[in-house]
Chains A and B, each alone.
Chain A
Amino acid sequence: MTALLEIRSVAVRFGGVMALSGVDLDVQKDSITGLIGPNGAGKTTLFNVICGIRQPTTGVVLLDNKEINGVPTQKRSAMGIGRTFQRLELFTTLSVFDNVLVAAELARVSNPHAVAREQIELLGLTDRTDTIAGELPTGSARLLEVARALAGRPRLLLLDEPASGLDDVETQQLGVLLQQLKSLGITVLLVEHDMSLIMKVCDQIHVLDLGNVIASGTPDQIQHNPSVIDAYLGAVR
């Protein structure tokens, strides 16, 4: 196993708040890696660092063993990074189809229309192809975020709470989809509060609390880690 993404002592400071204070973690190639922790732990901030939306105060991000700190956001998608947003960032006045199409076109795939249709089908949004994205219910909107990210043909997919707003059936389907993506060679970093989904699909889990990684391990190890139960899982149950 090799690491696709490595975070090395990344710290981010917002004024007096340390959103991340020296985080170290790896995401293995072709894995589904979970990133969990209470609200405000710094998960979204870490995503922003990986995408280049926020520069870390200190520390480096490595993709394929190469430092990418200075690479601007818009060049990182060409390097294979795709993501969804916890606070939805859909193109709200475009149709579902056009949302995905824009992503495919920006990724310069050879047949963007076909790629867009494929991703929409994969996420089960075919019935809503012509709906204006701003009018989707939250669940479908989250799925559209995933479809759009996938149309950019990422190698590393960052999902920020994709299951919030989904019902049980949809969540289960999402889990199946994640496994499918993994078999297609897409590495997934998954932020999620739905513990049954996390425990079911993840190969590896990192737990973040107050900007620090307090535990890393397999789902089994994490579920029995006393400090994780203290900081987070206890509260969730």
Chain B
Amino acid sequence: MQQLVAYTIIGLTTGAIYALASSGLLVTYVTSGVFNIAHGAIGMIAAFSYWQVRFEWGWSAPVALIAILGVLCPTLGLVIDRVALRGLAQATEVTRLTATVALMAAFIGIATWIWPPENRQPFRGFFDGNNVSVLGVNVGWNKIIALIAAIAVAVGLRILLYKTRLGIQMRAVVDDRSLAELNGARPARIASASWALGASLAGLAGILLAAEVQLNVVPLTLLVINAYAAAIFGRLKSLPLTFLGAMALGLTEAYLLWGQGQSWFPETIGGFSTAGLRQATPTIFLFLLLMLLPQAKLRAGAARVRERSAIPQWNIAILGAAVLVISSIAVTGMMTRSNTIYLIQALIMALAVVSLVPLTGYAGLVSLAPLTFAGIGAVLMSKMPGDGNIVSLIAVVVVVALIGAVVALPALRLEGIYLALATGAFALLVSILVFNQGKIFSNGVAEVPPLRIPGVDLSQPRPKAIFLSVAFAVVGLLLVALRRSSLGRQFVAMKDSPLAGATLGMNLVRTKALAFAMSAAIASLAGALDAGKVAPDNYTFDRSLPILLLAIVSGVGSIGGAFFGGMLLGSNTVLASIVPSITNITRVTPGLIGLSMGRNPNGTASQIATGFRPVTSHPQSLLTALSGIGALWLLTSVDIISHWGFFAALVIWGLGIVPNLPALAVTSGRSRVLCLLIAAVGMGIAAFFDDIFEAVPTGGRLLAIIVLFVVVGNAIRRIHTPVAPTTKSSPDLMGLTGFTPEELSQSDRAIKVVP
């Protein structure tokens, strides 16, 4: 009995913390319409900052609280609202969701940077060490304060929403935005206020939770899952129901904790350990609640889609595939063993990124679980009889595709945002309940057998790298075929207007399920082809986030973009392993790049691709480009250029100079000479790369190469007159793209910019 009371109190306090977090989430969601995936991350940042000022700098608790909850959190909320999200109001749901995912990744990166995981002073709760006796049970003050805070916030929100002008305006905005605007409310300002408030509530929850579970970046960030579970229990509108959901969640967790200590509680079910059950409770809650949501309604007037990708052309795709395979054969012949292993990792990442092309790029759906499917692929491959038989691989891919469709199927009734959440919940569930089982990863590792191909030993790095680039090329070509097929068109049509699609006879659930199955199948290759010892840590939820971000940032609609994204992720690990100080920057980068998305909807790779388009349609330039590569290859094979020099020259030539070739062909006189001079200097530096950068480690060399190609490319571009593009795109926040130069100058004249 005593025990039951104790666990009930634990449950209620945990519930109270969840309630605080979820009420903050709810307030921002209803007034601004943004599903803030980074909500838990804000709480995490607040908890770390509080620890910093309170325990490291010794501020008193009230001052620390005012500084964090009264200043830091509201500022953070305002900045997010004003800087990160405001420009995305008209963007698609995917873009907005990704922006908050980017925020979350950036916050995780920043926190790990400032507060590296090490032994640190404990995070002590309020009035630590003092207890109160409740019904004969000693309860710490932190718990009591959590309960009081939750009650105070409930009452406070009630008063705010019903008795104050701001609150009444908030409710009006929720009810009918345009009507509220007519009556003088300013939705933008109200959204800002709610972001500030929501961030403070997240902060309070984070601080109270940290006192219970200690400082730890990822678990604190995942507070958002609990908050979501409760908020969805409240149907994303009702505060009382949200509080009720939070309490139910807290109590369930507490009673499970109690149960796990009892003799009657099964330690295993069907041979699977139940140890992860309590940890998984919020996720299970969330998943079940999402499944119970009513079918999404078809809605008119979807946000205008800005992201768009050109239809891939066969000749370019085949050329790209050939270049990829040939250059991987060439490059790996010259690479050291350890660099080849990095290349392998980058190729695996590229496969994971490209798995999002059909799903996110074509069909416009978000998955937070690409690596989970890779992990399932790896596990199945390691368990499959046949020891790397090709038939086993096919079986694995088919099974994972089915799992992808089956997992997604119940969630497919949901709108994009809930669907994304459901995939996130699935990723966490698999991590906690499946990958942690001794049966699945024995002693935390699984041995994925290399694929058996006669005459090729795929356990060696070089053949493995070449094989992976062949695999990527094949997947890429299959995706080109998909995009050009009827089904591919339907994917894109569904992204642009599900309403019109359904009216024309499209079965949306079936189409979405197919997109999911294909994506899961490709992702499974990233696991099943990664022969060797793998650990569940490779496939966690938080590792999937950069994959999604880089996919979107580098242009998820294009296969080249996905390859580029994978290479970026891969070079991240190279940089990290060689130059530790760069690690922190690279950790934050995906998030920051994600935030720049509002400015460039089509991504980096598409810009490079746009640069190449004139080249591929200009035979003379194309020939020059290819002969240049051939010449480099020749010079290297007779040892005139070193391996690093070859790599540097290849990048500068391919990315810096080649896109300028068609323009150079029509430039004349002094600017042509100048351009050629710059090109020659760039290539010269590349040729003597090893001598010039002798003392520089790998990371610095990579950086130098990037700087070189950007400088050379831009310098040349500045000098020659660029070939006039047929349409000018202005990648601004209004999404105004695709005006012809005439139209632009016409409108300029109309508004008298030019006479």
Contacts and interface: CB of A to CB of B under 8 A. Distances in A.
A103 B309 CA distance: 20
A107 B499 contact: no
A74 B492 CA distance: 17
B436 to A, nearest CB: 41
A106 B300 contact: no
Nearest to B495: A93
B496 A93 contact: yes
Interface in B405-443: none
A53 B490 CA distance: 19
Interface string A143-160: 000001100100000000
A101 B493 CA distance: 11
Nearest to B485: A105
B611 to A, nearest CB: 20
Residue from B301, B308, B492, B496 having most chain A Cβ neighbours under 10 A: B496
Residue from B308, B497, B505 having most chain A Cβ neighbours under 10 A: B505
Contact of A90 (B307, B497, B505): B497
A105 B304 CA distance: 24
Contact of B504 (A87, A94, A102): A102
Contacts of B504: 77, 82, 102-103, 106-107, 148-149, 152
B487 to A, nearest CB: 9
Contact of B300 (A77, A87, A94, A152): A87
Interface SS majority for chain B: loop
A78 B501 CA distance: 13
A53 B503 contact: yes
Nearest to B302: A89
Contacts of B502: 53, 73-74
Contacts of A73: 298, 502-503
Nearest to B309: A93
Interface string B497-514: 101111111111000000
A51 B503 contact: yes
A93 B307 contact: yes
Contacts of B489: 94, 98, 101-102, 105
Given A73-B298, A89-B500, A94-B489, A78 B305 contact: no
B26 to A, nearest CB: 21
A107 B501 CA distance: 11
A132 interface: yes
A102 B503 CA distance: 12
Interface string A76-100: 1110001101010111111000110
A135 interface: yes
A51 B502 CA distance: 10
B496 A92 contact: yes
B486 interface: yes
B401 to A, nearest CB: 23
A60 to B, nearest CB: 20
21 contacts: A74-B502, A74-B505, A82-B504, A85-B300, A85-B499, A87-B301, A89-B300, A89-B500, A90-B496, A91-B500, A92-B308, A93-B309, A93-B495, A93-B496, A101-B489, A102-B504, A106-B504, A132-B308, A134-B305, A135-B737, A152-B505
Given A73-B298, A90-B497, 5 more contacts: A53-B503, A91-B496, A92-B496, A94-B492, A102-B504
Interface of A: 51, 53, 73-78, 82-83, 85, 87, 89-94, 98-99, 101-103, 105-107, 112, 132, 134-135, 148-149, 152
